[in-house]
A = this chain, B = another copy of it.
Amino acid sequence: MLIKKAKSYGFCFGVKRAVEIAESSKNAVTLGPLIHNPLEIERLAKNYNVKFVDSLENIDKNIKRVIVRTHGIPKNNLEKLKEKNVEIIDATCPFVKKPQEIVEEMSRSGYDIVIFGDKNHPEIKGVMSYSVHNRVYVVLSPNELENIRLHEKIAVVAQTTRKIEDYLKITNYLIKNYKEVRVFNTICNATFENQDAVRELSQEADIMIIIGGKNSSNTKQLYNIAKENCESYLVEDESEINKNWFKNKRICGISAGASTPEWLVEKIISKIKEVT
């Protein structure tokens, strides 16, 4: 059977950078899981003694170094962290840092802030916390703005993983209704490059194996795209590989979420070769 990897898959720039930071910060802890992949978290704990704590309260006196994870953290948590006697190692993705800085600067300049994203997502909780005033509105669609009377000057940012087409619906509504709309395109293309590659490969393949954490939303999106086109499976590790899946298949496509390390991809490919 022919095994083909998608043209683009796996670690994005921010995740690759965060893992490298963790690898060079032995014995540090991360505040929340560094990335959305349990096996990679386990590897970092085992090989580098980089473990994670759930909350600020669990950072006790024995902890000397704390890594801020890729999604960033709310500003007041960062300040609380600074009050503790620890070294702070910032692994916030630079593409997430950008909207944080924009929100801080624009709110300081008196702009109302509109954020296109999910208010429960850690990235957005971080980004919105950087406003110096409380005129910050987190929305997923223009109709959520209809009952809000904003000031005439508005700055807009987007969650890095959102689609541009959906972002434009928000900005179009604002431009129609207000005098000045300062639009920052903070969307990161990495997610979409992986998605486009899965779409292409799954049209050619007879079966797709998507590798990633089951709590990773970008991995689930890859899986959803793949299964529209062929028989597809989402697996976290090689133990889930079932040889019956591959019977009478000619081409097996492989993709992986933005938090999935390359070593795991290789391990799964070996397993597939072994059983087929």
Contact = CB atoms under 8 A, between A and B. Distances in A.
A13 interface: no
Interface stretch (A138-146, A176-184, A266-274): A176-184
A85 interface: no
Interface in A156-199: 164, 167-168, 171-172, 175-176, 178-185
A194 to B, nearest CB: 19
Given A168-B172, A171-B175, A175-B168, A183 B182 contact: yes
Contact of A179 (B164, B176, B181, B184): B184
Nearest to A186: B179
Contacts of A175: 164, 167-168, 171, 183, 185
Contact of A181 (B172, B176, B183): B183
A142 to B, nearest CB: 13
A183 B185 contact: no
A179 B157 CA distance: 10
A164 B179 CA distance: 12
Contacts of A183: 171, 175, 180-183
B179 A180 contact: no
Nearest to A178: B185
A182 B179 contact: no
Interface string A124-160: 0000000000000000000000000000000000000
Contacts of A185: 175-176, 178-181
Contacts of A168: 172, 175-176
A178 B167 CA distance: 14
A95 to B, nearest CB: 11
B180 A164 contact: no
A174 to B, nearest CB: 8
Contacts of A182: 180-183
Nearest to A158: B175
Contact of A171 (B164, B171, B179): B171
Nearest to A180: B184
Interface of A: 164, 167-168, 171-172, 175-176, 178-185
Given A171-B175, A178-B185, A182-B183, 14 more contacts: A164-B176, A167-B175, A168-B172, A171-B171, A171-B183, A172-B172, A175-B185, A176-B185, A179-B184, A179-B185, A180-B185, A181-B182, A181-B183, A182-B182
12 contacts: A164-B176, A171-B175, A172-B172, A175-B183, A175-B185, A176-B185, A178-B185, A180-B183, A181-B182, A181-B183, A182-B183, A183-B183
